[in-house]
């Protein structure tokens, strides 16, 4: 029986046990802390699978040919790659490192799509020699690199072209502009030159389609429809002017998620409805064959599946001001608040039923930056040193953006499911941190 009144911000298996502890995947979070320490990232396997299947099923009932890629940048982890592959998701990777992880995990190579605005020669060579699915080409420099390496290796390479369609999204609002001030992708006005390059100098490049990613944490449907409109116009242009029939439309990342009660994202089903109906209508109007639909959600798959458990330590009451509660993690394991003022919600995992002495507090990190505040002004029951604070919706862009600032080892990550917990990323140690450092002999 679910005892959490409003599940909106919790992983889908969250509950409260008889001791008043938060449970995830039928695991008591306080037992997890006792076993694995803090800070601790916890990933709910069921929640990740559920969200993944929601994308797959809501597309399946509306559209024949599609592939959902998991955007590895959200949380690059071999176990998650493995689960994604088993469910039938492909992978969107953006670096040689993510690609290496994907290859080591033995995922279906043909479903790996390689992104990035400055892929190195070595990275492209790894992609080409490994026979991955597709390379998404971002600029002319890269087109030349891919062509040269493909020619040397005597291979023909499937590519997509990343376009910037002039749509800019910021969660609640979006604008259409002639040009986007973005480092990513080709501007629409360069597209003709791209096609000319491929026809004249790209004999090993097989152009399959177009990609666009207009932003992350998007709460509206219309920008997705507008993007599709613009991309399909280019399909038509490519066919008529250059006699190339494109077969894949890649519409980038997925929908936004709720980090706070105020957040009101669209549903995956509504997103699927608008994207597929727009493609069908536009293709009919433009007399195009229906292309394969590719999307690459990250945040909405893994974000709500993860929480981070911290131990409360010191407190500071500013006279007539804020009360700071410091935890044993912060900006190095979750850089989103300090980087772009991202908001989060937290609960007291060891006192889920308590509503005593509610206080307005600020959850501060342990790092040497004044701005290292995980949550500003949140109402929580009185927190004592040793209490366990669970920050919710930390599955995406937390571990993957983490650092060793202040030489603090990265936390462990544990996968929970039906009462079992397994370490999927070990906690770093001081010796992990120091092992890449070399002291020249003359200092010894
Ligand atoms: C090219 C590309 N695809 C996919 C994604 C994943 O987006 P999201 O996590 O919002 O679904 C991103 C994230 O920024 C991206 O840059």
Residue 41 predicted with pLDDT over 70: yes
Q: Is 216 in the pocket of ligand 1 (CB under 6 A)?
A: yes
What distances in angstroms separate CA 190 from CA 138, 157, 178, 243, 440, one per listed residue? Answer: 12, 21, 13, 18, 50
For 368-405, the pLDDT digits (tens) are: 999 999 999 999 999 999 999 999 999 999 999 999 99
Average pLDDT, stretch 240-264?
A: 96
Task: Give me the pLDDT at residue 177, please.
Answer: 67
Q: How far apart are the C-alpha atoms of 219 and 215, rounded to whole Å?
A: 11
Q: How far apart are the C-alpha atoms of 197 and 205, rounded to whole Å?
A: 10
Residue 316 predicted with pLDDT over 90: yes
Q: Is 370 left (phi over 0), alpha (psi -120 to 50) or beta?
A: alpha
Task: Give me the pLDDT at residue 5, please.
Answer: 84
Residue 166 predicted with pLDDT over 50: yes
- Taking only Cα atoms into account, the Rg of the chain, rounded to an integer number of angstroms, comes to 23
Average pLDDT, stretch 136-164?
A: 98
Residue 343's pLDDT band, with cuts at 50, 70 and 90, is very high
Residue 1 predicted with pLDDT over 50: no
Q: Is 400 in the pocket of ligand 1 (CB under 6 A)?
A: no
| N residues, the chain | 444
Q: How far apart are the C-alpha atoms of 144 and 303, rounded to whole Å?
A: 36
Residue 236 predicted with pLDDT over 70: yes
- Is 166 or 247 the better-scoring residue by pLDDT? 247
Task: Give me the pLDDT at residue 417, please.
Answer: 98
Task: Give me the pLDDT at residue 251, please.
Answer: 98
Q: How many CB atoms lie within 10 A of CB 248?
A: 20
Residue 115 predicted with pLDDT over 60: yes
Domain boundary assignment for the chain: 7-44+303-434, 115-297
Under 8 Å CB-to-CB from 200, ≥6 apart: which residues? none
* DSSP one-letter code for 124: H
Residue 4 predicted with pLDDT over 80: yes
Residue 32 predicted with pLDDT over 80: yes
Q: Residue 66 is encoded by which pair of tokens?
A: 């599609």
What distances in angstroms separate CA 185 from CA 386, 388, 403, one per listed residue? Answer: 48, 44, 28
Q: Is 166 in the pocket of ligand 1 (CB under 6 A)?
A: no
343 within 8 A of 259, measured Cβ to Cβ: yes
Q: Is 43 in the pocket of ligand 1 (CB under 6 A)?
A: no
Distance between Cα 296 and ligand 1 center (Å): 7
Q: How far apart are the C-alpha atoms of 129 and 165, rounded to whole Å?
A: 31
Q: What mean pLDDT, rounded, does the chain reach?
A: 96
For 79-108, the pLDDT digits (tens) are: 999 999 999 999 999 999 999 999 999 999
For 123-147, the pLDDT digits (tens) are: 999 999 999 999 999 999 999 999 9
Cis peptide bond N-terminal to 39, omega within 30: yes
From 55, 71, 164, 396, give the residue whose CB has the most ligand 1 atoms within 8 Å, as the site to mutate: 71
Question: Taking Cα atoms as reference points, which of 352, 348, 375, 377 lies closest to residue 364?
Answer: 375
Q: How far apart are the C-alpha atoms of 12 and 22, rounded to whole Å?
A: 12
Distance between Cα 71 and ligand 1 center (Å): 6
Average pLDDT, stretch 417-440?
A: 97
Residue nearest to atom 4 of ligand 1 (CA): 253
Instruction: Go through 346-362 and write b for each residue having 16 or more CB atoms within 10 A of its CB, e for each that does not.
Output: bbbbbbbeeeeeeeebb
Q: Is 99 in the pocket of ligand 1 (CB under 6 A)?
A: no
Architecture of domain 115-297: Alpha-Beta Barrel (3.20)
From 48, 134, 138, 252, give the residue whose CB has the most ligand 1 atoms within 8 Å, as the site to mutate: 252
Residue 2 predicted with pLDDT over 90: no
Which atom from ligand 1 is nearest to the alpha carbon of 299?
9
Q: How far apart are the C-alpha atoms of 102 and 308, rounded to whole Å?
A: 25
Question: Which CATH code fits 7-44+303-434?
Answer: 2.40.37.10
Looking at 27, 77, 137, 368, which residue is catalytic?
368
Under 8 Å CB-to-CB from 230, ≥6 apart: which residues? 163, 165, 166, 167, 188, 212
77 counts as catalytic: no
* DSSP one-letter code for 182: -
Task: Give me the pLDDT at residue 64, please.
Answer: 96
Question: Taking Cα atoms as reference points, which of 65, 120, 38, 106 lies closest to residue 312?
Answer: 38
Distance between Cα 20 and ligand 1 center (Å): 37
Task: Give me the pLDDT at residue 181, please.
Answer: 84
Average pLDDT, stretch 308-318?
A: 98
Average pLDDT, stretch 26-31?
A: 98
């Amino acid at each position: 029986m679910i005892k959490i009144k409003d599940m909106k911000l919790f992983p889908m298996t969250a509950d409260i046990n008889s001791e008043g502890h938060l449970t995830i995947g039928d695991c008591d979070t306080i037992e997890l802390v006792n076993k694995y320490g803090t800070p601790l990232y916890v990933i709910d396997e069921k929640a990740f699978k559920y969200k993944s299947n929601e994308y797959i099923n809501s597309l399946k009932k509306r559209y024949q040919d599609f592939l959902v890629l998991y955007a590895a940048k959200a949380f690059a982890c071999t176990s998650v790659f493995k689960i994604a592959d088993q469910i039938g998701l492909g992978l969107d990777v953006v670096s040689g490192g993510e690609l290496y992880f994907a290859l080591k995990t033995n995922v279906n190579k043909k479903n790996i799509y390689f992104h990035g605005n400055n892929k190195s020669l070595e990275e492209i060579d790894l992609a080409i020699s490994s026979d991955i699915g597709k390379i998404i080409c971002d600029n002319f420099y890269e087109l030349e690199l891919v062509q040269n390496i493909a020619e040397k290796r005597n291979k023909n390479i499937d590519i997509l072209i990343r376009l910037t369609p002039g749509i800019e999204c910021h969660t609640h609002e979006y604008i259409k502009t002639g040009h986007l001030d973005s480092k990513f992708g080709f501007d629409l006005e360069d597209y003709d030159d791209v096609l000319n390059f491929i026809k004249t100098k790209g004999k090993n490049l097989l152009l399959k389609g177009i990609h666009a990613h207009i932003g992350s944490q998007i709460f509206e449907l219309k920008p997705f429809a507008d993007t599709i409109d613009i991309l399909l116009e280019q399909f038509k242009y490519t066919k008529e002017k250059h006699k190339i029939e494109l077969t894949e439309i890649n519409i980038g990342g997925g929908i936004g998620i709720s980090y706070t009660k105020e957040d009101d994202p669209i549903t995956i089903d509504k997103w699927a409805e608008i994207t597929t109906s727009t493609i069908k209508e536009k293709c009919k109007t433009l007399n195009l064959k229906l292309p394969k639909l590719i999307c690459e959600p990250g945040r909405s798959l893994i974000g709500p599946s993860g929480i981070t458990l911290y131990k409360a330590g010191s407190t500071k009451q500013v006279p007539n001001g804020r009360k700071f509660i410091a935890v044993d993690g912060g900006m190095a394991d979750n850089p989103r608040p300090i980087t772009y003022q991202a908001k989060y919600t937290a609960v007291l995992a060891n006192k889920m039923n308590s509503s005593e002495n509610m206080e307005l507090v600020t959850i501060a990190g342990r790092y040497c930056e004044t701005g290292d505040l995980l949550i500003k002004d949140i109402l929580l029951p009185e927190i004592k040193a040793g209490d366990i604070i669970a920050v919710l919706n930390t599955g995406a862009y937390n571990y993957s953006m983490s650092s060793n600032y202040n030489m603090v080892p990265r936390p462990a990550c544990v996968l929970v499911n039906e009462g079992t917990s397994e370490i999927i990323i070990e906690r770093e140690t001081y010796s992990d941190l120091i092992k890449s450092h070399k002291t020249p002999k003359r200092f010894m």
